[in-house]
Structure 1
Amino acid sequence: MSGYVSRLRSRPPGQFSGQGRLRLPGGPRRPRRVAMLSVHTSPLHQPGTGDAGGMNVYIVELAKKLASINIEVEIFTRATTGALPPAVELAPGVLVRHVDAGPYEGLAKEELPAQLCAFTHGVMRTWAGHRPGYYDLVHSHYWLSGHVGWLAAERWGVPLVHAMHTMAKVKNAALAAGDTPEPAARVIGETQIVRAADRLIANTAEEADELVRHYEADPGKVAVVHPGVNLDRFRPAPAKGDAAGGVAGNASANAAGDVAASRAAARARLGLPQDAVIPLFAGRIQPLKAPDILLRAVADLLAADPALRSRLVVPVVGGPSGSGLAKPEGLQKLAARLGIADVVQFRPPVGQERLADWYRAASVLVMPSHSESFGLVAIEAQACGTPVVAAAVGGLPVAVRDGVSGFLVAGHDPADYARALRRFVAEPALSTRMGADAARHAQSFGWGTAAVATGDVYTAAMQERRRHLRSLHG
């Protein structure tokens, strides 16, 4: 196993173990049109609300970049209101199709398996209205979509490419206190999809290893493709009237100054104190993401240095999700119990442009997650020039360059997070210096690179399917 992982880690993103980026005689054809499946959450939903999060961003940005390299994408998702049109153009070459499956509202994610037959029927009805061969490939996201994709790919005679995003066995091995374990039905479903898929896309080499170790995936089927970040949206933004550019294309000695100017401008726009220490949490509020650890770390900081209270602001930007919906006011009550309610600002989920300003304004982003397949939020913040303090779990050691673009923390002891945050309190210049390095680090995670690598995975899956068919009829 360790040999497999070391070989995988030595390959650039988009190459997969044992085969690499296939270059076959005759120039293998890329797909013209992909059916992308996202059953439980729509790419049109606001990230940070309900079940919408990093996967939504992933699907939207990847689909747009695939379309830009001439791979059309049609995204099938469950309709959550009767007012939605059957199809919405998200961008040129990207169409979102709403499928009626179950009641529009009030259906929890855990209840969706019962609606998969109805969802599959809706997908098949759309396919039946097209000429044969309309879709070249199915790309499913999350295990619920994987089961629809499995049936669709078999019926259409095309390859199935699947992205797990999160895995039940991995989540259950790292449950937060009081969190609910993933059900056995999901474990069984994921195991079936791993066997059925022609290719599995993993965010990191560690995730690829987990697929092999926990689900007995064929290493030859697993492709590592790092997610990206929208570098046009998430970047240090110059103050109004300043020259454009920022760190996004500038590795000069002025980079830290650009980050500082960007931070000052963002704080002015958000009405935040210019001299404040601002550790930010951004994301869905649920035990898995562990925002409580940040609050407990802040309480530790203030206990050690009460004078810090006058210049500490702790924004929590996001809404309850998953098991966090059972106690939607739990985090506010914790802040009150810890005696830090006066420094914590609870803000609802915001759009991507506004979110970028929250990243820019922060001294540091804090991600104490118990499990993360990658951690897009960490890359987005770094791209904006903000360092990250994150748990050393899942894909976060890939997303964060420890000691350069932020700090990785082993475990989930609030005292360890308080220790990391104290460094930014003691040395105010650390935030801008590491922020400049963070912005440079994020440049290697563009969605264009991810789309090209994903296109290579598609091409390899199609080529292998054609080879298999030729051998059957040979």
Structure 2
Amino acid sequence: MLSVHTSPLHQPGTGDAGGMNVYMVELSRALAEQGVEVDLFTRCRGEGLPRLVDLEPGVRVRHLPAGPRRALPKEAMPDLVLPFSLALLKEERGYDLVHSHYWLSGQAGRIASFGWGVPLVHTAHTLALVKNAHLADGDTPEPELRIRGEHQVVAEADRLIANTADEAAALRTLYGAEAARVDVVRPGVDLRTFAPGDGRAAARARLGLPADAFVPLYAGRIQPLKGPDVLVRAVAELLRMAPDLRRRLLVPVVGGHSGASREGAVGRLAAELGVADVLRAGPPVPQARLADWYRAADVLVVPSRSESFGLVALEAQACGTPVLAAAVGGLPTAVWDGVSGLLVRGHDPVAYARRLLWLARNPRVRATMGEAAVRHAGQMSWRASATRTIDVYEDAVARRTEVGQGRRHAPAPAAPLSWRNEKAVAPV
């Protein structure tokens, strides 16, 4: 597996680390449990980690030298695809298949697949054309360079794994992917970590939260695409509708700033709207601690403008917490509307506020939805995801064997990728 711009070892919710990091780690573990050995290659950032880290039996994280050994913005990553790929090709040749994650890794995957003569399976996680269609006001669109790069990877991958049927449709209609090469594999949830545990009251006691508070939780990266501003505006509308709720309303925002987000922007918006007193900002936390935040909440709010799947929604439901989410991307798959949570079409803060008020005033509904949420999330395990992924791998290998070692065509030589050179095309 390839992940050029972010390491599987990074804390989700910080920088560029998020659901994709969780996906790679959990899928690799589940694959290993079914007899598949996985090497996860990522860029060495000089964090004092050894070149090879045994994540657990059958799963290794391997760091490759590519560019400066320090953290770099994602905008600098295209320039490092070629050196990363060259370092990768120097590694052992005993791999049966390459599985790339995100478009930058897909570019490196094209090279490795051709150099080693093995199939390339690609998971996009997010797509530029989809993101650009759902930008927040003032957010920066994904560049043409990425769009062209995604088209190249889609055209050359042996198989494409989509999280949902909607993502599969986007690959076909927006990127021209052949239907026969697109497989839908739903992500899973770690049901050992994310479970109701000893309940809401105990979780609140551990986190120091009031037992009688109404707690809508935001958990994830703080960036315009994820819609934290929608939640803040919804909280302001909620308090206009029900001023008496202020005395028991607490809104934790657990996550780190990422991408185009401006440090402190959520806090400034909350102060401007007069709701800073009910917000509580917290840093990203390890998975076990995050499970306590889910258990402690009355509802998880996911107002994303675009979301390939929304693993946080699945994790919260596994802990017994209903979800209020935008009806975008994979969230309608992750959340059973009206049963394990509520979906909102659009991003009108008033629409979110009305549903929050209804949930605040109906604790029995929250409890019933929480019970349904546990059952719903329980149907989506990483073991099932791994089993389906192995089917895709085996089919890709079998089809490659049938046609010999040749590909549809070799990647064409070209200039190195660069954000600064918008006329450049992908390497090799």
Q: TM-score range by the shorter chain?
A: over 0.9
Of 223, 227, 233 in structure 1, the residue corresponding to residue 187 of structure 2 is 227
Residues 164 and 333, structure 2, Cα contact 8 Å, conserved in 1: yes
Residues 47 and 70, structure 2, Cα contact 8 Å, conserved in 1: no
Q: Does 1:76 align with 2:13?
A: no
Show CA shifts across 1:273-300 (max 9, x none).
1111100000000000001111111111
Q: Distance in 1 between matches of 2:370 and 2:362?
A: 13
Structure 2 partner of 1:138: 98
Q: Secondary structure of the equivalent of 1:354?
A: helix
Q: Does 1:427 align with 2:387?
A: no
- 1:42 corresponds to which letter in structure 2? S
Q: Distance in 1 between matches of 2:48 and 2:303?
A: 38
Q: Distance in 2 between matches of 1:380 and 1:282?
A: 11
Q: Does 1:293 align with 2:230?
A: yes
Q: Does 1:208 align with 2:168?
A: yes
Q: Distance in 1 between matches of 2:330 and 2:220?
A: 16
Q: Does 1:41 align with 2:1?
A: no
Deviation at 1:126, TM superposition (A): 1.5
Structure 2 partner of 1:90: 55
- 2:218 corresponds to which letter in structure 1? F
Show CA shifts across 1:401-435 (max 9, x none).
00000000000000000011011111122221110
Distance 1:126 1:277, change over 3 A: same
Distance 1:369 1:470, change over 3 A: closer
Q: Distance in 1 between matches of 2:11 and 2:133?
A: 29
Q: Does 1:147 align with 2:82?
A: no
Structure 2 partner of 1:236: 196
Of 313, 316, 326 in structure 1, the residue corresponding to residue 250 of structure 2 is 313
Aligned residue pairs, count: 407
Deviation at 1:441, TM superposition (A): 0.3
- 5+ residue gaps in structure 1? 1-35, 239-261
Q: Distance in 2 between matches of 1:275 and 1:216?
A: 52
Q: Does 1:405 align with 2:334?
A: no
Structure 1 partner of 2:74: 109
Deviation at 1:161, TM superposition (A): 0.1
Q: Does 1:67 align with 2:4?
A: no
Deviation at 1:105, TM superposition (A): 2.2
Moved more, 297-306 or 385-394: 297-306
Structure 2 partner of 1:181: 141
Q: Give the root-mean-square deviation of aligned CA atoms.
A: 1.1
Q: Does 1:304 align with 2:241?
A: yes
Show CA shifts across 1:126-146 (max 9, x none).
23xxxx5x1000000000000
Q: Distance in 1 between matches of 2:48 and 2:276?
A: 40
Of 374, 381, 385 in structure 1, the residue corresponding to residue 316 of structure 2 is 381
Of 296, 302, 307 in structure 2, the residue corresponding to residue 361 of structure 1 is 296
Deviation at 1:102, TM superposition (A): 1.1
Q: Secondary structure of the equivalent of 1:140?
A: strand
Of 292, 316, 322 in structure 1, the residue corresponding to residue 259 of structure 2 is 322
Percent identical pairs in the alignment equals 60
Deviation at 1:107, TM superposition (A): 1.3
Q: Secondary structure of the equivalent of 1:323?
A: coil
Q: Does 1:335 align with 2:270?
A: yes
Deviation at 1:84, TM superposition (A): 2.0
Of 295, 300, 306 in structure 2, the residue corresponding to residue 371 of structure 1 is 306
Q: Distance in 2 between matches of 1:470 and 1:185?
A: 30
Q: Distance in 1 between matches of 2:284 and 2:296?
A: 16
- 2:15 corresponds to which letter in structure 1? G
Q: Distance in 1 between matches of 2:65 and 2:270?
A: 41
Distance 1:162 1:318, change over 3 A: same
- Aligned positions of 1:216-295 closer than 5 A: 216-238=176-198, 262-295=199-232
Q: Secondary structure of the equivalent of 1:322?
A: coil
Q: Secondary structure of the equivalent of 1:332?
A: helix
- 2:136 corresponds to which letter in structure 1? A
Structure 1 partner of 2:391: 456
Residues 117 and 405, structure 2, Cα contact 8 Å, conserved in 1: no
Show CA shifts across 1:330-355 (max 9, x none).
11101111111111000000000000
Residues 118 and 405, structure 2, Cα contact 8 Å, conserved in 1: no
- 2:397 corresponds to which letter in structure 1? M
- 2:114 corresponds to which letter in structure 1? E
- 2:36 corresponds to which letter in structure 1? I
Residues 188 and 385, structure 2, Cα contact 8 Å, conserved in 1: yes
Q: Distance in 1 between matches of 2:7 and 2:290?
A: 19
- 2:191 corresponds to which letter in structure 1? L
- Aligned positions of 1:3-18 closer than 5 A: none
Deviation at 1:215, TM superposition (A): 0.2
Under a length normalisation based on structure 2, what TM-score does the superposition of the two structures give?
0.94
- 2:245 corresponds to which letter in structure 1? L
Q: Distance in 2 between matches of 1:45 and 1:469?
A: 38
Show CA shifts across 1:203-228 (max 9, x none).
00110000000000000000000000
Q: Distance in 1 between matches of 2:323 and 2:241?
A: 22
Deviation at 1:471, TM superposition (A): 10
Structure 1 partner of 2:418: none
Deviation at 1:164, TM superposition (A): 0.3
Distance 1:72 1:423, change over 3 A: same
